[in-house]
Amino acid sequence: MHDLRRQALESGKTVSRKARSKNGSPASSRPNSAPSSRATSRSRAVSRAGSDEEENGNLSDETSFSTNSIDELLNGDASDPITDAWRADLADRIQELIDRKRSSVQGREKCLAIYVRTLTSQYAEEDIRGKESELVPAFLKSIKAETSERETILAMKALAMTVVTSPSDLIYEAVASPLKRVISDSHSIASKAAAVHCLGTCTFFGGASDDEILDNMAYILEIVASDGGFIDAQDEPAPVVAALEEWGALSTLMEDLAGESEEAAEYFVDQLSSSDPAVQIAAGENIALLYEKSYRSLTEDDGPADLGENDIISDPDGIPGVPKLIKNYDPYRRTDILKDTLSDLAKLNTRRISKKEQKSLRTNFADILDSVEYPTHGPRYQNAIDHETGKRYGSRMTVRIHKEGVMRIDRWWKLHRLQALRRVLQSGFVTHYERNPVVFESLP
């Protein structure tokens, strides 16, 4: 993945346990994490157990970096077919964006919206190839000026779509500082959250080095640790959710998180007591990912004298060919207390949130608790026995690729990448998965 890397948002309040117990937030960033070897904003709570009869939301909003619901995400592409007339129109919009002469705010908003919509529904790598050096500066002008919130977010969405469609090793260096200025200085909470998502996408696909990836993971972790206070968005859920999601997505690029896991887990566990369900779920998904990444397959080179009895996990179903896992490091020192917290969330019964949010929390945290206890279990793991095979169903999360096939999401790192891609691509995900090699290779 190293050579492949080169978000509309609701406001509200979220207060974690740690924020309620202290008067201030960190005034500056902590030192960056040490480099290690290489081996996602939802405005509503995510549900993995929604009924198939539930109505899918509209994911076509050009300014959205939200996946809305995991069930919508799994139901495939809902984009409408378009004729080849889009190529000529896209060429005109590209020229208009580059020229900018005598353009109005409304005109730029319309042009950016068409550009985003086209790149979402079509794989247009050939159409923008060689034009990135002119398009990116044009997007940055709109991002830096912040003339309107809509233009700013559309420009960031256009930038994200450009780097996913045509990755370049030069994009990250050009866009990182302007995006961080929006995150820190913008008066718009929606723009801050969208900039976090855009920074994550450009870090993943825009040519960031390993050290730069770790630096950005540390940077956005400050947003989580301070409940948004680090970027002057205290207790605003959207930027915190964005930071949690992008930290999770970027961490899938790292082979070993031994140096980052304990500190990150502390902040994620703290966010489990947030008053916002989306914050809680995003934090929980990162915790599940940390536990998954703390284990690796047992090899013949691992001597029994070096292993403790509790460091090896066997497949509980005894399926032939499934390797044993060995614990590389403790992702979090208080796993016993964490399990109690996750268990409480999986059985939550409260009137402070809607029934839909309550169901979402229960379903998600049942999954997360299961993975903390058994890191071999991915999202939506089912212990029920398939009477035809006599084996457990296991992870049953799949993405339908039209009518021809499915993609199995049986690991948390796959779910994080799927959600990160879908935040950018929206209803065009399947189109890009089929035609865009960058997207396809991101989810092997």
Give the pairing of strands 381-386 and 391-395: antiparallel
Cα–Cα–Cα angle for 81, 197, 250, rounded to 5 degrees: 105
Report pLDDT for 183.
98
Rg for the chain, CA atoms, rounded:
21
Distance of CA 354 to the CA centre of its chain: 24
Please give, one letter per residue, the 3-state secondary structure of 263-292.
HHHHHHHHHCCCCCHHHHHHHHHHHHHHHH
E strands, 17-134, are: none
Residues 11 and 234: their CA atoms lie apart, in Å, by 11
Residues 205 and 2: their CA atoms lie apart, in Å, by 9
Report pLDDT for 17.
44
Q: Which two tokens stand for residue 137?
A: 């500066």
Cα atoms in the 13 Å half-sphere on the side-chain side of 86: 18
Report pLDDT for 374.
87
Report pLDDT for 392.
62
| Orientation of helix 355-373 relative to helix 335-346, angle to 10° | 150
Residue found by looking up tokens 């994200």 in the block: 160
Report pLDDT for 26.
37
Per-residue pLDDT reduced to its tens digit, 346-374: 998 888 888 888 899 999 999 999 999 98
Report pLDDT for 423.
96
Report the DSSP beta bridge partners of residue 56: none
Cα separations in angstroms, 381 against 112, 221, 288, 411: 41, 28, 13, 10
Residues 349 and 347: their CA atoms lie apart, in Å, by 6
Burial of 392 (0-12, 13-18, 19+ CB in 10 A): middle
Cα–Cα–Cα angle for 392, 249, 16, rounded to 5 degrees: 95
Cα atoms in the 13 Å half-sphere on the side-chain side of 210: 12
Please list the ranges in the chain whose pLDDT falls under 70: 1-63, 66-83, 297-324, 383-387, 389-394
